[in-house]
């Protein structure tokens, strides 16, 4: 899976046609805006269409823009036109796009990210909270959800030594989802409890063999945006772990969540 910026693509017509395959009325409207090159005119000069693709297959798409259908132009930025094709639903694929939009908004210095929708009970899964109904530019109203953009501070324990137990060793299967095999040792820090009331979970780096216990240093944190618990990155040697290595070896599980990595 890869995230593509539509504005940087040479074959824009291909992606417009892929979007047009959706039966969603808003997708047809979006395709029309793209063909007329009016996305920025309608939703702000920084408006960008983001595509989640598997090879040449379009999985999900959404926009990142200063404005959306809500009339109040003081609120920004917005994730809009959020859509996943039916065959990919139930896998939280859109979460990866919303995670990316969150990162863009954070980089641009915003403190809140908004979504306008008619859906109920969907965006709560992705860390958003219903705020209120608001009038739109079309004369009706829409439900507005928002997510606070935060800068977390983990300086108090990054680099500290911890000890723990491995209850899901490398090569083992997830107890509830046997098709999910752990490519890394995964366990918990003894005696330290996290936001979910269970002991603090940790991905343990530094060995290619299954182990039963660990002692190492905290070298990173995966802060989940749509969960009550962070995941710690522990290095057995105490040496830093390359962020790309962390993402690659934790993706088997973290792909189902929205998050950001702190090191």
Taking residues 172-197, what's their average pLDDT?
A: 88
3-state secondary structure of 26: helix
CATH 3.40.630.30 residue spans of the chain: 2-148
Architecture of domain 2-148: 3-Layer(aba) Sandwich (3.40)
**pLDDT computed for residue 68 by the predictor:** 94
**pLDDT computed for residue 74 by the predictor:** 95
Identify the CATH number of the domain defined by range 161-262.
Answer: 3.90.80.10
Q: Which of 100, 131, 97, 101 is nearest to 116 (CA)?
A: 131
Name the CA radius of gyration of the chain, rounded. Answer: 21
CA distance 235 to 219: 6
User: Mean pLDDT for the chain?
Assistant: 93
Expressed in percent and rounded to 5, the helix, strand and coil fractions of the chain are 25, 35, 40
Give the β-pairing of 199-205 and 231-235.
parallel
Q: Are 147 and 78 in contact (CB under 8 A)?
A: no
CATH 3.90.80.10 residue spans of the chain: 161-262
CA distance 15 to 188: 44
Opening angle at CA 47, ends 97 and 73, nearest 5: 110
CA distance 263 to 248: 15
pLDDT (tens digit, 9 = 90+) per residue, 151-170? 999 999 999 999 999 999 99
3-state secondary structure of 62: strand
Model confidence at 94, in pLDDT bands (50, 70, 90)? Answer: confident
First vs last Cα of the chain: how many Å apart?
24
């Amino acid at each position: 899976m890869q995230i593509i910026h539509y504005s940087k693509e040479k074959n824009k017509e291909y992606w417009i046609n892929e979007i047009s395959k959706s039966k969603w009325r808003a997708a047809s409207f979006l395709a029309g805006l793209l063909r007329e090159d009016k996305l920025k005119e309608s939703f702000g000069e920084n408006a960008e269409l983001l595509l989640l693709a598997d090879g040449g297959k379009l999985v999900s798409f959404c926009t990142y823009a200063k404005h959306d259908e809500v009339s109040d132009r003081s609120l920004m930025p917005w994730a809009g036109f959020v859509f996943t094709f039916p065959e990919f639903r139930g896998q939280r694929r859109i979460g990866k796009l919303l995670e990316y939009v969150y990162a863009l908004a954070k980089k641009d210095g915003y403190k809140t990210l908004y979504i306008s929708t008619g859906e109920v009970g969907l965006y709560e899964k992705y860390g958003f909270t219903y705020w209120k109904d608001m009038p739109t530019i079309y004369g009706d109203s829409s439900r507005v959800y928002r997510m606070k953009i935060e800068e977390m501070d983990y300086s108090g324990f990054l680099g500290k030594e911890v000890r723990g137990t491995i209850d899901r060793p490398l090569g083992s299967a997830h107890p509830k989802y046997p098709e999910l095999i752990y490519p890394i040792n995964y366990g918990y820090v003894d005696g330290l409890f996290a936001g979910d009331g269970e002991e603090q979970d940790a991905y343990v780096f530094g060995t290619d063999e299954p182990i039963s216990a660990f002692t190492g240093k905290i070298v990173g944190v995966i802060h989940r945006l749509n969960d009550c618990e962070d995941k710690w990155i522990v290095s057995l040697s105490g040496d830093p772990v390359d962020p790309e290595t962390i993402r690659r070896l934790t993706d088997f599980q973290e792909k189902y969540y929205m998050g950001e990595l702190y090191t």
